Structure 1
Amino acid sequence: MLLFVLSYSQTKVKGVVYDELDRPVDSVRISFKGTSISTLSSERGKFMLSSEEEHSTLVVTYEKKHLVREIPLDRRVNRNIEIRLNSEKSLQEITLIGKPKKKLSKKENPAYKILQGIWKNKERNDIHSLGSYDYRRYTSINMGLNNMDSVLAKKILGDDYKTLRKVLIKDDQEEEKIAIPVFMNELTERIYGKKNKERIDTEGERKSGLNEVGRGFGVERFSQVFNEINPYDDDIRILDKSFVSPLSSRGYGVYQYALKDSISEGGHMVYTIHFFPINSGDLLFQGRFKVVDGIFAVTDIWMKTTRQINMSLVRDFSVEKHYTEVKDDFYLPGKSQYEGNFTLFSKRKDEMGVYVKKEINEYEYLMDQPHDDAFYQQKIVQTKSDQFEKSDEYWKTSSGASEDTEETLKIIQGLRANKKISRVSNIITIASTGYVDLFKGLQTGSVWKTISSNNIEGLRLRMGFRTYKTEDDKLRFNFYGAYGVDDQKFKYGIEGIYLLSSQPRIVLGASHLRDNLQLASRLISPSDLLPKSSNSSSLIRRGENYYLSNVMRNTINFDWALNNNLHINLSAVHQQIESADPKLFSMNYTLPNSSEIQSKLNDFATNISLTYTPGRNVYGYGVEQKFGKLPYPTFMLKYTRGYKGVLNSDFNYNKLQLLIKENFFLSNFGVLNASIELGKTFNTVPLPLLSPITADQSLSVVPNSFALLNYYNFTTDTYMMGHFEHHFNGFILNRIPLIKKLKWRSLIFYRLAYGSISQNNIDINKSSVNYIAPNNTVYSEYGFGIENIGYGNIRPFRVDFVWRSTMGEFSGLVPPSFGVRFGFKPGF
Structure 2
Amino acid sequence: MRKLSYALYLIFIFSIGLQAQTKVTGTVYDEMNEPMPFASVYFKGTTIGVTTNENGKFTLSSDTTQKVLVASFVGYTNQEVVLKNEVTENLKVKLTIGQELQEVVIVNKPKKHLSKKENPAYRILQGIWANKKKNGVKLAKAYDYERYSSVSLGLSNLDSVFLRKIVGSGYDSVAEIVKEERRQNKFIVPVYMKETNEHVYGNNLLNKERIDMEAERNTGLNQRGFIFDRISNTFTTIDVYEDDIVILNKAFVSPISTRGYGVYEYLLKDSIVEGGKKTYHIYFFPRESADLVFEGSFKVTDKNFALTEISMRTNKNINLSLVRNLYFEKYFETVNDTMYLPTRDYYEGDFTLFTKNDDEKGFYVKKNLVYSDYVLDQPKEDAFYDGKIVQTRGDQFDKEDQYWKSLRASELKTEETRKVIQDLKSNRKVRSVTDIITVLSSGYMGLFDGVQVGFLWQLLSNNNVEGLRIRAGLRTYKSDNDRFRAMVYGAYGTKDKKFKYGAEAKYLLSFKPRIVVGASHLDDNLQLGGKLIETDELLPKNLNTNVIIGRGENYFLSRVKRTSVNFDFAFSNNLHLNVSSVHQQIKAADPTHFSIDYADPLTGQTLSALTDYTSNISLIFTPGRYVYGFGVDQKLGTTLYPTIILKYIRGNKGVFGGDFDYNKIQVSVNKPIFLSNFGTLKTNVEFGKVFDAVPLPLLNPVTADQTFSVVPNSFSLLNYYDFVTDTYLTAHFEHHFNGLIMNRIPLLKKLKWRSLIFYRFAYGSISQKNIDMNRSFIAYQAPSDKVYSEYGFGFENIGYGNFRPFRVDFIWRNDFTAVNGKQSPGFGVRFGFIPEF
Alpha-carbon distance change, 689 to 391 in structure 1, aligned in 2, over 3 angstroms: same
CA 1:84–1:568: 2 relative to 1, 3 Å: farther
For the 8 Å contact 2:105–2:271, the answer to whether it is kept is no
Aligned to 1:241: 250
Residue in 2 aligned with 1:705?
714
Asked if structure 2 preserves the Cα contact closer than 8 Å seen for 1:135 and 1:363, the reply is yes
Change (3 A) 1:173 1:246: same
Deviations 1:171-203 (A, max 9, x none): 6843x2111211111110011110101111110
Q: Distance in 1 between matches of 2:137 and 2:263?
A: 28
Structure 2 match to 1:35: none
Aligned equivalent of 1:147: 157
Q: Distance in 2 between matches of 1:809 and 1:729?
A: 36
Aligned to 1:651: 660
Q: Given the alignment, which residue of 369, 384, 405 partners 2:378?
A: 369
Aligned to 2:307: 298
Separation (CA, whole Å) in 2 of partners of 1:346 and 1:93: 44
Equivalent residue for 1:441, pick from 450, 465, 488: 450
TM-aligned CA deviation for residue 161 of structure 1:
2.3
Q: More relative contact order in 1 or in 2 (CA 8 Å, sep 6+)?
A: 2
2:118 to 103, 108, 120: 108
Distance 1:699 1:25 in 2: 52
Question: How has the CA–CA distance of structure 1 residues 163 and 404 changed in structure 2, closer, same or farther, with 3 Å as cutoff?
Answer: farther
RMSD, matched Cα? 3.0
**Preserved CA contact (<8 Å) 1:697 1:709:** yes
Partner of 1:564: 573
Partner residue of 2:394? 385
The 5 A counterparts of 1:506-545 are 506-545=515-554
Tell me the residue number matched to 2:739: 730
Cα deviation code 1:525-582 (max 9, x no counterpart): 1101011242123112110110001110000000000111010000000000111111
- Find the residue that maps to 1:542 and give its secondary structure: coil
CA distance in 2, matches of 1:366, 1:421: 45
* Range 477-486 or range 550-559, more displaced: 477-486
Conserved 8 A contact 1:558-1:570: yes
Equivalence for 2:211: 200
Q: 1:703 to 1:173 in 2, by over 3 A?
A: same
Work out which of the residue numbers 657, 670, 676 in structure 2 matches 1:667: 676
Structure 1 counterpart of 2:209, one-letter code: E
> Equivalent residue for 2:241?
232
Write the distance in 2 (CA, Å) between the matches of 1:396 and 1:561: 36
Partner of 1:781: 790
Which runs of 5 or more residues in structure 1 are unaligned? 1-9, 33-37, 47-57, 67-78
Aligned to 1:605: 614
The equivalent position to 1:624 in structure 2, one of 613, 633, 654, is 633
Amino acid paired to 2:41? V
Contact kept? 1:257, 1:274, Cα under 8 Å: yes
In the alignment, the residues of structure 1 paired with residue 228 and residue 781 of structure 2 have an alpha-carbon distance, to the nearest angstrom, of 47
Residue 691 of structure 1 contacts residue 717 of structure 1 at CA under 8 Å; is this kept in 2?
yes
Could you say which residue in structure 1 is the equivalent of 2:762?
753
1:647 aligned counterpart, secondary structure:
coil
CA drift at 1:779: 0.2
User: What TM-score do you get using the length of structure 2 for normalisation?
Assistant: 0.89
Distance verdict in 2 for CA 1:62–1:245, change over 3 Å: closer
User: Match for residue 20 of structure 2?
Assistant: none
Does the 8 Å contact 1:164/1:178 carry over to 2?
A: no
SS of match in other structure, 1:401: helix
The separation in 2 between residues aligned to 1:661 and 1:153, in whole angstroms, is 46
1:757-811, CA deviations, whole angstroms, 9 ceiling, x for partnerless residues?
0111111111111000000000000000000000000001000000001125543
Asked if structure 2 preserves the Cα contact closer than 8 Å seen for 1:271 and 1:293, the reply is yes
Q: For residue 767 of structure 1, give the secondary structure of its aligned residue in structure 2.
A: coil
- In 2, Cα distance between equivalents of 1:59 and 1:370: 49
Aligned letter for 2:281?
A: T
Q: Is the 8 A contact 1:17 1:83 kept in 2?
A: no
Query: Aligned runs of 1:764-775 on 2, under 5 Å?
Result: 764-775=773-784
3-state SS in 2 of match to 1:570: strand
Task: Give the match's secondary structure for 1:304.
Answer: strand
* Separation in 1, partners of 2:77, 2:127: 39
Q: Would you say 1:744 and 2:753 are equivalent positions? A: yes
Residue by residue, what CA displacement relative to the aligned partner does 1:611-657 show, whole Å, maximum 9, x if unpaired?
A: 10001001111111011110000111000000111111111000011
Contact (CA 8 Å) 2:284, 2:297: kept in 1 or not? Answer: yes
- The whole-number CA distance in structure 2 between the counterparts of 1:451 and 1:751 is 31
Contact 1:18 1:84 in 2 (8 A): no
1:581-592 equivalence runs, <5 A: 581-592=590-601
Q: Cα–Cα, structure 1 residues 777 and 83, in superposed 2: closer, same or farther, change >3 Å? A: farther
Following superposition, the deviation at residue 711 of structure 1 comes to: 0.4
After TM superposition, give the deviation of residue 249 of structure 1 in Å: 0.4
Give the direction of change, closer, same or farther, for the CA distance of 1:220–1:185 in structure 2 (3 Å limit): closer
Distance 2:359 2:100 in 1: 33
Per mean C-alpha deviation after superposition, the further-off stretch among 437-446 and 161-170 is: 161-170
SS in 2 for 1:685: coil
Query: Cα distance, 1:594 vs. partner?
Result: 2.3
- Structure 1 residues 756, 230: CA separation in 2 closer, same or farther (over 3 Å shift)? same
Identity %: 54
Q: Deviations over 1:151-182 (max 9, x none)?
A: 111122123323333443586843x2111211
Report the Cα offset of residue 461 of structure 1: 1.2
Confirm or deny that 1:469 pairs with 2:469. no
In the other structure, the counterpart of 2:359 is 350
Rounded Cα–Cα distance in structure 1 between residues aligned with 2:34 and 2:336: 47
In the superposition, relative to structure 1, how do residues 412 and 356 fare at CA in structure 2: closer, same or farther (>3 Å)?
same
Shift of 1:113: 0.5
Counterpart residue number, 2:42: 18
SS for the counterpart of 2:641 is coil
The 5 Å alignment of 1:37-186 reads 43=61, 64=82, 100-169=110-179, 173-174=183-184, 176-186=185-195
Deviation at 1:92, TM superposition (A): 12
Cα drift, residue 149 of structure 1: 2.3
Q: Distance in 2 between matches of 1:261 and 1:62?
A: 20
Task: Check whether the contact 1:16–1:24 (CA below 8 A) recurs between aligned residues.
Answer: no
Distance 1:225 1:685 in 2: 48
- CA displacement, residues 282-327 of structure 1 (integer Å, 9 cap, x when unaligned): 1110100000110100010000001111111111111111112133
Aligned to 2:324: 315
Letter in 2 for 1:593: L
Aligned to 2:22: none
**Displacement of 1:603 after TM fit?**
0.4
Aligned partner letter, 2:201: Y
Q: How has the CA–CA distance of structure 1 residues 360 and 97 changed in structure 2, closer, same or farther, with 3 Å as cutoff?
A: farther
After superposition, the Cα gap between the structure-2 partners of 1:97 and 1:594, relative to the gap in structure 1 and judged at 3 Å, is farther
Unaligned runs of 5+ in 2: 1-32, 68-75, 85-89
Please point out which of 276, 288, 296 is paired with 1:287. 296
* Cα shift at 1:40: 11
Q: CA deviation at 1:732?
A: 0.3
C-alpha contact 2:79 2:95 (8 A) present in aligned 1: no
2:285 is aligned with 1:276: yes
Q: Structure 1 residues 82, 711: CA separation in 2 closer, same or farther (over 3 Å shift)? A: farther
Distance between the aligned counterparts of 2:620 and 2:58, measured in 1? 59
Once residues 83 and 404 of structure 2 are traced to their aligned partners in structure 1, the CA distance between those partners, rounded to angstroms, is: 39
By how many angstroms is 1:129 displaced?
3.2
Query: 2:323 touches 2:349 (CA, 8 Å); kept in 1?
Result: yes
1:416-461 Cα offsets, whole Å, 9 max, x none, are 1211111122222222222211122111122122111111111111
Q: CA deviation at 1:342?
A: 1.2
Q: Which residue of 2 aligns with 1:210?
A: 221
- Give the whole-Å Cα distance in 2 for the aligned partners of 1:759 and 1:390: 67
CA distance in 1, matches of 2:177, 2:827: 58
CA distance in 2: counterparts of 1:496 and 1:200, whole angstroms: 35
Q: Quick check: 1:17–1:84 contact (8 Å CA) kept in 2?
A: no
